[in-house]
Amino acid sequence: MTADISLLRVFHAVMEERNVTAAARRLGQSQSTVSAALARLRVALGDELFLRARYGVEPTEKALQIAPDIAAGLDRLERAFRDAEPFDPAQSTRRFRLLLGPYAEVVLAPPLAAAFARLAPQAELEIAPIGPDLDPRSLAGQTFDLAIGRFSPPPEDLVVSELFSDGFRCIVAPEVLAEGATLTRDLYERLPHVVVAPPGKWRTGVHKLTADTGLRRNTVVIVSHFMTAAPTVAGIGGIATVPARIAAMVADPYGLRDMPVPLNLGTFPTEVAWHPHNRTDARHIWLRGLLSTIAAAEKKRSRGAG
């Protein structure tokens, strides 16, 4: 079989999406066209390649074996064409795919979407959850452009740099703290706490920080996402310790008080990770620059709010 790039692109899309309909949408083709391409590949390679599954398709052993080489080859071809063409964000129709941790998604998704609408209106921005841990293969294989969250220790073979840092604040139900009153350590430790515990490594570190300072929390509810904390605090008449940017976003809408933590818990970083093979990619350079601009604006805004 003489290699047909269009067939290999179909294979790669189906391998990543694990769904023929989604792959067709991604490629801008009809489902029947993608199915026909898969049929040609099956005959040429002498293997089923993808088998029906409950929610799409699953690759065969043969497909799993050849997938890395096909992905690497398509990536080299794409980079060769990208390097030869100037990048104009205003005209780009590219899909930019980002992996974001829960905190990074809440803080960065709105300004990032607004920036895309203004600067790259024809491009597509896709944001997916990063999960408990970052698999470097997702970035090495071009499944996603970059990841944003906390990386400790930094993943091997990836470039990791800090975007900005944040501290911690308390969101407090108004009925338990009078207007103008100070949130003392004694009151902090007595109030019913809503504790935010994201999965895996995405915990904010409040658990360790409060333990290190001896600051106790009267935990009554544990939730998995920052945006769940505010309505829960309002519902139980309690308190939660959350990143300062989150507190600024949710306190007023839920009628809560945004108060300093009785003890200084320090700060934590939000970092960006990407594969070195994107170092000279003009589109990736633009994306990283845009994130730096947004991060600088967020830093300036948070200082102004403070």
Query: 305 pLDDT band (50/70/90 cuts)?
Result: low
List the beta bridge partners of residue 193: 219, 239
DSSP3 helix / strand / coil % (the chain, rounded to 5): 50, 20, 30
List the beta bridge partners of residue 72: none
Give the pLDDT of residue 202.
Answer: 45
- Quick check: 156 pLDDT over 60? yes
- Quick check: 246 pLDDT over 90? yes
- How far apart, in whole angstroms, are the C-alpha atoms of residue 49 and residue 172? 55
Give the chain's count of helices (H) and strands (E): 11, 12
138-to-49, 66, 109, 146, 155 alpha-carbon distances in Å: 21, 17, 20, 9, 12
User: Which residues, including other chains, have CB under 8 Å from residue 67's CB and lie 6 or more apart?
Assistant: 11, 12, 15, 59
Give the pLDDT of residue 138.
Answer: 60
- Quick check: 282 pLDDT over 50? yes
Domains and CATH numbers, the chain: 5-84 (1.10.10.10), 95-164+269-305 (3.40.190.10), 168-266 (3.40.190.10)
Give the pLDDT of residue 167.
Answer: 92
Between CA 80 and CA 88, with CA 86 as vertex, the angle to 5 degrees is: 130
- How far apart, in whole angstroms, are the C-alpha atoms of residue 223 and residue 76? 43
- How far apart, in whole angstroms, are the C-alpha atoms of residue 47 and residue 36? 15
What does the pLDDT average to over 259-263? 95
User: Which residues, including other chains, have CB under 8 Å from residue 265's CB and lie 6 or more apart?
Assistant: 167, 168, 206, 209, 210, 213, 215, 241
Sheet architecture: strand order including 159-166? 124-129, 95-100, 146-149, 268-274, 159-166
The residue whose two tokens read 């939000």 is 270
- Mean pLDDT, the chain, integer: 87
Tell me the DSSP string of 87-149.
--TTT--PEEEEEE-HHHHHHHHHHHHHHHHHH-TTSEEEEEE--SS--HHHHHTTSSSEEEE
Query: 133 pLDDT band (50/70/90 cuts)?
Result: low
Please report, as a single letter, which amino acid is at residue 280. Answer: T
> Picking from 3-12, 157-166, 199-208, 219-228, which range would have the lowest pLDDT averaged per residue?
199-208
**Dihedral angle over CA of 115, 129, 197, 221, nearest 10:** 90
The residue whose two tokens read 């409040």 is 206
